[in-house]
A and B are shown apart, each in its own frame.
Chain A
């Protein structure tokens, strides 16, 4: 690990300002992704700003009837919150399908959104990777690509976003609240938060340098049957090959987001509109223009079958 200096932030605005003062700084929350990558020298911050002391660890009702989840709320606490279990079950389910009990106890809401890809070539510093080293190439294209993206990828990068939580948040129309080094705050809809790789796969989100996530908000509960189905190589403690977050209303309308298929949680409102027509129609719309590799073409039928099973379960 490269050497770094360390400070404990005193307020959200002070944390953002400190990040602006140290161009090579990173925030550290649970540390479960950042430290992993620092040990491999994939991340090499010269300064760490510990945000764990900030009072951003509460889940509170919003004026609009939704919930504001502090950036530091641990994944365990978010999944176990009685309001989330009752009104946003898809979010509880997605969190519980991710990582392990130990990791969920540390992992935070903001850190989970910002966790980096699990592409094995991103982790292997001997391999070219445009995300790790812009301009070096992409070893996954033409390499082992079983886990990689089938939609929204580019000639520069075919990585997927690994978060389960973010897929449920996309289906729930969440929004990300931030503060910037100049003190200005803004709200970014989750749909615009994660980016597609394009020619700059190292730029993964809409955040600007030094911008700190303070909370994630959920709109008023919409009811419906809420399901998160994750398909993976083991029954527990593995990243998704494909996952489906679905909110289905009694009249058959609803929202569907996919994990494991793209550089961001994948949802198209035009595909939601196909929900009353069934899994085949929704999948055709969601995956139109899909460009799988030979190794991950299995994800196309897997999405349709997983969604089919979810919609059958939703009918009860």
Chain B
């Protein structure tokens, strides 16, 4: 068993190790240049960088990124918006869900450079602790989480789900494709199936969303 302090120790060691290896890879280009740009360093390491500009939570952002950077990593590691979480990093769990132009997507399965000019909303943009979005408030009220890791993705997804229903987009459980979507519990649950909660807080999550949707769970 590792005690919490062992964990802290190994975590610090790990961080130190990472810093050292970054210094090592950067070394060759530093030797013969005074102040290499990020682009030059990356070119030496065999990678490509590009500029990209988009809006995050209403603020214009310009970044120069390795082309491999996912939108998720750009948000977390470059813009330090760590509300959006990295779960599986393969589009299977939904923890990385953000809203782009009103539509929810998995930010782990898209490249940042593919979002030139886009308008991105993360959990930080939906509301603040002082001024919560109604969906955030409902999750708190109904205890729609345990550990909280999947929660930002659940909330972003839930906000977009209600818009999808309003827009008349059908789902797998819609009984009739040619009549307006009914706001049932089965509809909400099916539409939220791309957000996994390993604590299993599903029934409380469903209650929170139902309340905002204006229907009994």
A35: which B residues are within 8 A, CB to CB? 70, 109-111
Query: What chain A residues lie within 8 Å of B90 (beta carbons)?
Result: 36, 39
For residue B67, which residues in chain A have a CB less than 8 angstroms away from its CB? Answer: 3-6, 48
Q: Is B85 an interface residue (CB 8 A)?
A: no
What residues on A are CB-neighbors of B164 within 8 Å?
Answer: 76, 101
Nearest A residue to B189, CB-CB: A236
CA A97 to CA B177, docked complex, whole Å: 13
What is the bound-complex CA distance between A121 and B177, given in angstroms?
38
Stretch of B26-34, B98-106, B208-216 that contacts chain A: B98-106
Write the A86-101 contact mask toward B (1 if CB under 8 angstroms, else 0).
1001001100110111
Interface membership of A187, Cβ < 8 A: no
- A101–B168 touching, CB < 8 Å: no
Say which residue of A1, A96, A106 sits within 8 Å of B110 (CB atoms). A106
State the CA gap A122–B116 with chains docked (Å): 33
* Residues of chain A contacted by B105 (CB below 8 angstroms): 102, 105-106
Contacting pair B47 A102 (CB below 8 A): no
Q: Which of A71-114 contact B (CB under 8 A)?
A: 76, 79-80, 85-86, 89, 92-93, 96-97, 99-103, 105-106
Please pick, from B114, B161, B169, the residue contacting A76 in the complex, using a CB distance under 8 A.
B169
Identify which of B3-11, B119-127, B135-143, B190-198 touches chain A: B190-198
Q: Does A31 count as interface, using CB distance less than 8 angstroms? A: yes
Q: Say if the beta carbon of A52 comes within 8 Å of chain B.
A: yes
Residue of B nearest to A31 (CB): B110
Total number of A-B contacts with CB less than 8 angstroms? 108
Task: Point out the residues of chain B lying under 8 angstroms from A6, CB to CB.
Answer: 48, 50, 67, 111, 113
A237/B47 in contact, CB under 8 A: no
Bound-complex Cα distance A166 to B138 (A): 40
On whether the beta carbons of B194 and A97 are closer than 8 Å, the reply is no
In this assembly, does A117 line the interface, its C-beta being within 8 Å of a C-beta of chain B?
Answer: no
Asked if B91 and A85 sit within 8 Å, CB to CB, the answer is no
Do A236 and B190 touch across chains, with their CB atoms under 8 A apart? Answer: yes
Nearest chain A CB to B125's CB is how many angstroms away?
17
Residue of B nearest to A105 (CB): B103
Alpha-carbon separation in the docked complex, A1 to B104 (Å): 25
Output the least CB separation between A36 and chain B (Å): 5
Known contacts A4-B48, A4-B67, A6-B67: A103-B106 contact under CB 8 Å = yes
B128 at the interface (CB under 8 A from A): no
A106 to B172, Cβ gap below 8 A? Answer: no
Contact residue among A48, A79, A236 (Cβ-Cβ distance under 8 Å from B193): A236
A97-B172, A100-B94 known; A237+B194 contact, CB < 8 A: yes
**Nearest A residue (CB) for B47:** A3
Q: Does B171 contact A (CB under 8 A)?
A: yes
* B134 interface hit (Cβ, 8 Å): no
Interface size of B in residues (CB-CB distance below 8 Å): 43
Check B177–A89 contact: CB distance below 8 A.
yes
Known contacts A3-B46, A92-B177, A101-B191; is-contact A79 B170 (Cβ 8 Å): yes
How far apart are the CA atoms of A50 and B171 in the complex, in Å?
29
Q: How far is the CA of A52 from the CA of B47 in the complex (A)?
A: 23
Q: Nearest-CB distance from B2 to chain A (Å)?
A: 28
Q: Is B151 an interface residue (CB 8 A)?
A: no
A281 contacts the other chain (CB 8 A): no
B106 and A32 contact, CB distance less than 8 A: yes
Contact with B along A48-62 (1 / 0, CB 8 A): 101010000000000
Q: Which residues of A contact B161 (CB under 8 A)?
A: 101
Contact B106 A96 (CB under 8 A): no
> Considering residues B116, B160, B172, which has the most beta carbons from chain A within 10 angstroms of its beta carbon?
B172
Asked, given contacts A102-B157, A103-B91, A105-B104, whether A85 binds B177 with beta carbons under 8 Å apart, the answer is: yes
User: Do the beta carbons of A80 and B114 come within 8 Å of each other?
Assistant: no
Is B178 on the interface with A (CB-CB < 8 A)? yes
Q: Is A237 a contact of B97 with CB atoms below 8 Å? A: no
B152 vs chain A, min Cβ distance (A): 13
Q: Nearest Cβ in chain A — how far from B122, in angstroms?
A: 14
B78 within 8 A of A: no
- B106-A106 in contact (CB<8A): yes
Q: Do B46 and A80 touch (CB < 8 A)?
A: no
Q: Which residues of B contact A105 (CB under 8 A)?
A: 103-105
* Nearest-neighbor residue (CB-CB) of A3 within chain B: B47
Contact residues, B155-183 vs A (CB, 8 A): 157, 160-161, 164, 167-172, 174, 177-178
Q: Does chain A have a CB within 8 A of B68?
A: yes
Interface contacts beyond A6-B111, A36-B109, A236-B189: sample of 11 additional A-B pairs, CB < 8 Å, sorted by A: A6-B67, A6-B113, A30-B110, A32-B91, A50-B113, A80-B168, A85-B170, A100-B194, A101-B171, A102-B91, A102-B97
**Could you jot down 22 A-B contacts, CB within 8 Å?**
A3-B46, A3-B48, A28-B114, A31-B109, A31-B110, A32-B109, A35-B111, A76-B103, A79-B170, A85-B177, A86-B178, A92-B170, A96-B171, A96-B174, A100-B193, A101-B104, A101-B161, A102-B97, A105-B103, A236-B172, A236-B193, A237-B194
